[in-house]
Amino acid sequence: MELVFATHNKNKLIEIKALLPHYIKLLSLDDIGCTEEIPETSDTIEGNAILKAEHVKNRYGYNCFADDTGLEVEALNGEPGVYSARYAGDDKDDTANVRKLLSQLENKENRNAQFKTAIALNLNENQNLFTGICKGEIIKEQRGDKGFGYDPVFKPNDFEYTFAEMNLSEKSKISHRGKAFRALIAYLSK
């Protein structure tokens, strides 16, 4: 089976390829010649995943899945949420995003947060949605050099270390993206 994963993000592609069974050939947006940035204009994580999957299906004709992920912080009323990648500006700078997040939380005691991933699958004229959530907290200093984005400051519940201190296999077992993709893979395996 051939599926397009609507992403240009090479880190996400590596994570997902590690989770997929061998019989699914994964193509990226680069592989199908989609060089444009797909607009993410929804005010929900689920809505943005749907927009991206529909764009690829309608414009390029491929069966496709798309994800959107956001970090939702309780003390910030769910921010950065759908703006997670662009929290500190349109250039999607992970370091600047983490710096802004830590600054916003500087005097806050409640550091509870959750990562949420929504995956929209457009397959043979049907659409399905899969969601994964990983609850945790934002720590006060960055730790670890693995992963990307907010991984160095996100410590999942029941763990003493951040996503950036975990290897990919360990992170995939508990992460929001891992949970959502396992639900997708279970569906595709039926």
3-state DSSP of 113-152: EEEEEEEEEEECCEEEEEEEEEEEEECCCCCCCCCCCCHH
CATH of domain 2-188: 3.90.950.10
Supply the pLDDT for residue 90: 87
The average pLDDT across 12-25 equals: 79
Q: Reply yes or no on whether the pLDDT at 148 is more than 80.
A: yes
Cα-flanking dihedrals φ and ψ of residue 172, to 5°? -60, -30
Using only C-alpha atoms, the chain has a radius of gyration, in whole angstroms, of 16
* Residue boundaries of the structural domains of the chain: 2-188
Residue indicated by tokens 């910030």: 76
Supply the pLDDT for residue 16: 77
Pairwise CA distance, residues 143 & 47, whole Å: 32
Residues 6+ apart with CB under 8 A from 51: 38, 39, 40, 41, 42, 66
Report which of residues 10 and 36 the model is more confident about. 36
Q: For the chain, give the mean pLDDT.
A: 92
Q: Reply yes or no on whether the pLDDT at 8 is more than 90.
A: no
How far does CA 15 lie from the centroid of its chain?
A: 10
Does 30 participate in catalysis according to the annotation? Answer: no
Q: And the tokens for 136?
A: 């945790």
How far does CA 185 lie from the centroid of its chain?
A: 16
Report which of residues 168 and 73 the model is more confident about. 73
Pairwise CA distance, residues 41 & 43, whole Å: 7
Q: Which of 31, 68, 94, 158 is catalytic?
A: 68
The average pLDDT across 108-122 equals: 97
Report which of residues 39 and 183 the model is more confident about. 183
